[in-house]
Amino acid sequence: MLKHLVAPTVLLAALALSPVTRAQGGRPAQQGAGNNQQAAPAAGQNENIHLDGWERPAQSLAASGQKPGPAPVHDLSGTWEPVPRYRDGVFASGPRDMPSDAKHEALMPYTPLGKQMMNSHKAGFGVNIAPISQINDPFDHCDPIGFPRIELFNLRGLQIVQTKDEVLLLYQNTRTWRNIWTDGRPLPKLDEIVEPRWFGYSVGKWVDDTTLVVETDGLNDTTWIDNTGRPHSDELVVEETFHRVDSLDFDLTIKITDPKMYTEPWYPLKNFRMGQNAPSFDIREMICAVSEQENFNTLLQNVVPSSPAK
Amino acid sequence: MRIAIRVVFLAVFSLLIVGVPAFAHHGNASYDGGPLTIKGTVTSWLWTNPHTFLKLDVTDDAGNVAHWVCEAPAPSTLVNFGFNAKTFKAGDVVTVVMAARSKSLSVGRINKFILASGYVMNTEVQ
């Protein structure tokens, strides 16, 4: 009896709440949930079936039952995703340990210039959220996402390859890569850098058997630090710590130092866990194609709220 | 009867807390309308970044046709909910449940697809 009651009752509730039951002056009437007979869900429909780029079911090695062993020495190689959920690194509203909400924004050590720059950034998320037509996010035009935003927005699949002289980070988001030089060269001095780069200049050093510390400078200051518009200058220095916890995981910590924009260093991520996938895992493309982005902007450019969001 | 009331409450509650997909360059700040369910005929399915789009023609009882643009999550997310570039084709009849919509335009953001077969494809990110 209950089974027979559930679907009609849900439909009734949906119909009662739906705006389609109200008059929409001058617009064609919409069909509400009550106008179709398809709303009864089938079992299992919402299962989250994580697939790799070849459409094959994919799980982290830990999720598939493998027990962690000791952390290997000086080795980050493999294909990684955030754990426990592969989407835990999306960070749309800012990085996990410093999201752009009222509470955390009050903790941000902006300089006056940093605050001014932050306020000039109209983002799609965070405290500076703006209508689509007013967003001035450079990534909305497929400018290179840059570093450190590549790790602070849509951090998804990440393949790490090591050679004798460098560690290569291959990112799913925008299908880009970084070179971490581990051959002993020093970090370039800021006043000697003649060509700032979207992903900067990176050097890494193993400080113990399982911890690689990477410093990056020489960054193009037109990029945003994260998806909410945190600014940076040409004096930004980013320190990443990759700590191999065991055979299946590493933790990523990121420290931001930029005396022009921030009065003291801050940490968008502290020990953010990445889990190893099977060696056969193929990272799916996630590309910012200019033509697709232009179409996106065109389709949504006229969507403007009657009262701008705060 | 008490169970039925509980079901109604849960349904109402679930509609009130409709999730906001949070995985691209913008949130729902640009949508000023609440949830809406429409049923229409697919004119195109754009499997693109940063978001996908389902374009639907919705015809009312008087024969007026509204051309809807329904925004959905990125391919990298949708693929994990059973979608792919060939999930919809022109002519398919689909019902979409939108979490947010524009009051002035036929544009909205999809939370759930209900196929003609009755199969429900949910895109809510938990």
By C-alpha distance, which of A139, A167, A166, A141 is closest to A152? Answer: A139
Domain B2-122, CATH homologous superfamily name and number? Nucleic acid-binding proteins (2.40.50.140)
For residue A16, what is the DSSP state? H
The tokens for B49 are 């970044």
Mean pLDDT of A222-250: 98
Does A39 score more than 50 pLDDT? no
- Of the pLDDT bands very low, low, confident and very high (cuts 50, 70, 90), residue A233 is very high
Share of chain A above pLDDT 70, in %: 82
E strands, chain A, in order: 78-82, 158-162, 166-171, 177-181, 201-208, 211-217, 237-244, 249-257, 266-276
Over residues A131-144, the pLDDT tens digits come to: 878 899 999 989 99
Residues 6+ apart with CB under 8 A from A66: A248
d(CA B93, CA B70): 14
- Structure confidence at residue A183 (pLDDT): 98
Using only the alpha carbons of chain A, give its radius of gyration. 23
Residues of B whose CB is below 8 A from A5: 3-4, 7
Q: Could you tell me how many CB contacts below 8 A there are between chain A and chain B?
A: 192
The pLDDT value recorded for residue A12 is: 37
Does any CB of chain A come closer than 8 Å to the CB of residue B47?
Answer: no
In chain B, % of residues over pLDDT 70: 74
* Helix or strand holding residue B108 (H, E): strand B107-115
What value does the mean pLDDT of chain B take? 78
Q: Cβ distance B92 to B41 under 8 Å?
A: yes
Q: Name the average pLDDT for chain A.
A: 85
Say yes or no for a CB contact (<8 Å) between A19 and B15.
no
Is residue A50's pLDDT more than 60? yes
The maximal CA–CA distance of chain B, rounded, in angstroms, is 47
Q: Residues A158, A80: contact at Cβ < 8 Å?
A: yes
Give the dihedral sign, CA A262/A266/A267/A268.
Answer: negative
Q: Which of A18, A296, A298 to mutate to test the interface with B (most CBs of B within 10 A)?
A: A296
Which of A41-55, A159-173, A244-258, A280-294 is predicted with the least confidence, judged by mean pLDDT? A41-55
The reply to whether residue B37 touches residue A305, judged by beta carbons under 8 angstroms, is no
Span A95-118, pLDDT tens digits: 999 999 999 999 999 999 999 999
Residue of A nearest to B11 (CA): A10
pLDDT at B83 over 50: yes
In the predicted model, is pLDDT for residue B22 greater than 50? no
pTM for the model stands at 0.80
Q: Which one-letter DSSP state was computed for residue A290?
A: H
pLDDT tens, position by position, B29-43? 667 788 899 999 999
pLDDT of A34: 32
Pairing status of strand B52-59 against strand B65-72: antiparallel
Tell me the average pLDDT across A160-165. Answer: 98
Q: Taking residues A233-241, report their average pLDDT.
A: 98
Q: Is the pLDDT of residue B3 over 70?
A: no
pLDDT for position A18? 35
Prediction ipTM score: 0.73
**Cβ-contact A34, A253 below 8 angstroms:** no
Percentage of residues in chain B with pLDDT exceeding 90? 40
Query: What is the model's pLDDT at position A92?
Result: 92
Judge: B58–A30 Cβ closer than 8 Å, yes or no: yes
CB contacts, 8 Å: A289 with chain B? 48-49
Of the two residues A4 and A203, the one the predictor is more confident about is: A203
State pLDDT tens for residues B45-79.
999 999 999 999 999 999 999 999 999 988 988 88
Residue B20 has pLDDT above 80, yes or no: no
What are the residues facing B69 on neighbouring strands? B55, B107
Residue A237 or A65, more confident? A237
For residues A58 and A50, the answer to whether their CB atoms sit within 8 Å is yes
Residue in chain B lying closest to A154 (CA): B23
Residue B7, SS3 per DSSP: helix
The per-residue pLDDT for A304 is 60
Over residues B100-115, the pLDDT tens digits come to: 888 888 999 888 888 8
Predicted local distance difference test score (pLDDT) of residue A48: 66
